[in-house]
Structure 1
Amino acid sequence: MRINMNFRFQFVLLFASTLFLSKIYSQSYKGVTGVKDTSYSTKAAYRYDVKKHPNIKIVPEFRFNSVKEKRNVSYCEIEKRKLNLDVFYNAEKSNSKRTAVIIIHGGGWRTGSREQHYPMAQKLASIGYVCFTPEYRLSTEALFPAAVFDIKSAIRWVRKNAAVYNLDANKIAVLGFSAGGEMAAFMGTTANMPLFEGTSCNLGTESKINAVVDIDGTLSFVHPDGREGDDSKSTSAGTYWFGYSKAENPKLWEAASPLSYVSAQTPPTLFINSAVPWMHAGREDYIQVLDKNGIYSEVKEFEGAPHSFCLYEPWFSPTIQYIDNFLIKVFNK
């Protein structure tokens, strides 16, 4: 992918600023504990949300006769650390190549797990998609941009294995929830940028994707509508991930924001949002750039829904329908 010169210049300036500030403040590794953080799980989210939404129900895993699964498939190995993903696909014969959906879990770049989205992967696979749920290094293990490198490697792995799973290499979507939604948008805006590709796995293949589904993921860490970075009561998820507070290195926080890179090369994007406004900070600014460049986007909001809405009914089923409708529209024009 070519990046226009003005955009490339802005990109270089942005990162030059982060390097300058990095010399003033030392990066903190206190959050890199090596101990798994299990604080965000579907059950924990439910216990919190059911107090205000007593009728919600956790969506359990499905058992579809047509859906086959391959779990714990290694897509990358970094210094003996294996990174795994799971594959969910429809075993029924198809005369056409299928669309891939890579699902990135949330949890503040620090907690959460890919297993939380097995029901979504199974449901999408039942209607014909091939879904992949990769793990990635969280901030208890490595700081930004390690997680970005991992997901880029997963995208490249999917591209390399397109023939194995009968995939159309021009129909690869990345979907993410919360922190995963932010990363999905980041994948869409930074495809093939050398600084964000990493050097470990599946090199020589493009990290380009063809559609983004952002479920309640911020578009900017520095937007005035956002709340990420408040360390007044406890260390924020962003501060743990970057190793700098927003005050110490605001340019790094800006450089990690999808809004900093949205351009004419960004793929069509679907935003599915809760009633929590700061979870989609920067969305309108992002859409303005898409509109200016004639790139299709949609916004779907659930009035009154909590942040973790996609894990529960009554929001899970319409979320699946929104995703399916969007992907059909952008891939089958």
Structure 2
Amino acid sequence: MREIIFDYPVKEFTYKVIGERKLKFYIFESESSQKNGSIILFFIGGSFSKDPNSPARFQEQAKYFASKGMITACVDYRNGADEGFTPIQAIQDVKSAVRSVRENYAYLGVDPNKIVVCGSSAGAYISVSSIMFKELNNETDNLSTDNVPNALVVFAGGMDGVDIMKRRYPELLDESIELSPIHHIKKCLPKTIWFCGTVDIDYEQNKEFIQRMVEKGNEITFIEYDKMEHGFFHFGRNNNEFYQDTIQKTEGFLKEIEFI
């Protein structure tokens, strides 16, 4: 298994074991971290490829919000480098991660009612899907533990499961509608902030999905960035202008809901 390397000190916590595969939280804390405060779980995108992005791609955001008093964790989940991987496994892992926080909140030192999930790209798809599709659970999970986070932060991701499976997992095409958020519009999401560039490949789809979800009663703040591409917000891109801007807007969102 690949080595996951961070530029900053992290604590490791295994939230799930599948065979020999240990899935971990890579936890950031600071002197500002509040006991029994909120926690944010970061799910990186680019995970469906055979050479997936590292969970450390979100380390700068994790470090920043730890400095604001939160416990933060970059989450390793099953991905394209795992033998026999499908997105169903990743969706199940998001659910397991949230359940693990609630079941281990005292050890982690967090409030089980102040869990934030943040996902980008493929991480956005699996984060939203983990909330929308109740039947997709790992058999080892305790289903009496709620898997829905208390808030959601999204950086553009495909919401059309039919398109995703057609392009990447044709073996799942027959069940793709059942794995497609845009085909299951309903009131189900926690309070959400959603970022997307206007030239992102998923822009029109995200805009339609959000409009229809808001019509069903979901509370989603959609923030558009003119002429910005997929992944525009990452640290090291665009002179960090949009990394900083999305950090500040996310912080404002978390302050509004009293998670910071």
TM score, norm. by length of structure 1: 0.66
For the pair 1:126 / 2:47, whether they are aligned, the reply is no
Q: 1:216–1:272: 8 Å Cα contact kept in structure 2?
A: yes
Relative to structure 1, is the Cα distance of residues 305 and 294 closer, same or farther in structure 2, using a 3 angstrom cutoff? same
Q: 1:259–1:286: 8 Å Cα contact kept in structure 2?
A: yes
TM alignment of 1:1-333, pairs within 5 A = 61=7, 69-71=10-12, 73-92=13-32, 94=34, 97-110=36-49, 111-141=52-82, 142-190=85-133, 193=134, 195-201=135-141, 204-222=144-162, 228=164, 236=167, 238-239=168-169, 243-244=171-172, 249=173, 251-311=174-234, 312=237, 313-331=240-258
CA distance in 1, matches of 2:42, 2:248: 16
Q: 1:78–1:200: 8 Å Cα contact kept in structure 2?
A: no
CA distance in 2, matches of 1:130, 1:169: 12
Relative to structure 1, is the Cα distance of residues 133 and 291 closer, same or farther in structure 2, using a 3 angstrom cutoff? same
Measured against aligned partners, the alpha-carbon deviations of 1:158-189 in whole angstroms (never above 9, x if no partner) come to 11122233322222111111111111222232
User: Secondary structure at the residue paired with 2:119?
Assistant: strand
Deviation at 1:316, TM superposition (A): 0.7
Q: 1:89–1:129: 8 Å Cα contact kept in structure 2?
A: yes
Largest Rg, 1 or 2: 1
CA distance in 1, matches of 2:200, 2:33: 42
Measured against aligned partners, the alpha-carbon deviations of 1:15-62 in whole angstroms (never above 9, x if no partner) come to xxxxxxxxxxxxxxxxxxxx97x9xxxxxxxxxxxxxxxxxxxxx95x
CA distance in 2, matches of 1:229, 1:146: 14
Deviation at 1:221, TM superposition (A): 3.2
User: Secondary structure at the residue paired with 1:273?
Assistant: strand
TM score, norm. by length of structure 2: 0.83
Measured against aligned partners, the alpha-carbon deviations of 1:90-113 in whole angstroms (never above 9, x if no partner) come to 33364x742211100110522111
Deviation at 1:75, TM superposition (A): 1.2
- Unpaired segments ≥5 residues, structure 1: 1-34, 39-59, 231-235
Deviation at 1:331, TM superposition (A): 4.3
CA distance in 1, matches of 2:244, 2:221: 18
- Unpaired segments ≥5 residues, structure 2: none
AA in 1 matched with 2:63: Q
Deviation at 1:70, TM superposition (A): 0.7
Relative to structure 1, is the Cα distance of residues 298 and 253 closer, same or farther in structure 2, using a 3 angstrom cutoff? same
Measured against aligned partners, the alpha-carbon deviations of 1:141-163 in whole angstroms (never above 9, x if no partner) come to 22231111122111111111222
RMSD: 2.7
Deviation at 1:258, TM superposition (A): 2.1
CA distance in 2, matches of 1:74, 1:108: 19
